[in-house]
Amino acid sequence: MDLHNERFNNSRKSLFNINEPVALERILELKEYNKTGVFKCRVVYDQEIVKIEFVPYVRKQVHSLKIVSAEIDYAYKYEDRTNINKLLELRGNCDDILIVKKGRLTDTSAANIAFFDNGRWYTPLSPLLKGIKREKLLRSKRIFEEDLMLRDLKRFKKAAIFSTMVEFGDIIIPVVNILE
């Protein structure tokens, strides 16, 4: 929760010049929630919190990625994902996409990624979104940042796709399943 608060309050400061921190856990404990299953919590906000909703979460199966080059900005978790969804339409027969920006590896359409080489996992230095799980893994030194170019893919054997909703190690695919 600390990392969610940190990103939320940093985003509010950067986007809206708001310096007063909000403790998300206090707001969320006021929300009624009587559902069973797996849900992701969406907090939609501008200067103020507009709405909080719990959306059923179904993890998608990912066995292959299509490389898609794009000059896209997604430094903050925006509600409008139109540009990412347009890129996702280019995946062909693959399950998801690996977005390349200015020749650099970034993220999949909905998660961060790391690549395995010589006993270590490396995640792109310049992801589209600096995810919460990514930050936690970096701080615990389970993954390491590196400026990864598209040409670097050939040095790796496997890739891990992860997010707040997907544990690191739950989705691992061979790099040969990342197609140009």
Tokens representing residue 18 in the block: 């708001």
pLDDT, residue 81, reads: 86
pLDDT, residue 104, reads: 97
Place of tokens 């993220």: 107
pLDDT, residue 161, reads: 97
pLDDT, residue 159, reads: 97
Indicate whether 30 pLDDT > 70.
no
Confidence of residue 92 (pLDDT cuts 50, 70, 90): very high
pLDDT, residue 32, reads: 59
pLDDT, residue 41, reads: 76
Indicate whether 38 pLDDT > 90.
no
Domain edges within the chain: 2-56, 65-179
pLDDT, residue 150, reads: 96
Segment among 54-68, 93-107, 119-133 with least mean pLDDT:
54-68
Q: Which residue has the higher pLDDT, 3 or 117?
A: 117
Which pTM value belongs to this model? 0.80
| Average pLDDT score over residue span 52-72 | 90
Mean pLDDT, the chain, rounded, equals 88
User: In whole angstroms, how far apart are CA 124 and each of 54, 85, 158?
Assistant: 30, 21, 14
The topology (CATH level 3) of 65-179 is D-amino Acid Aminotransferase; Chain A, domain 2 (3.20.10)
Nearest to 141 by CA among 161, 119, 163: 119
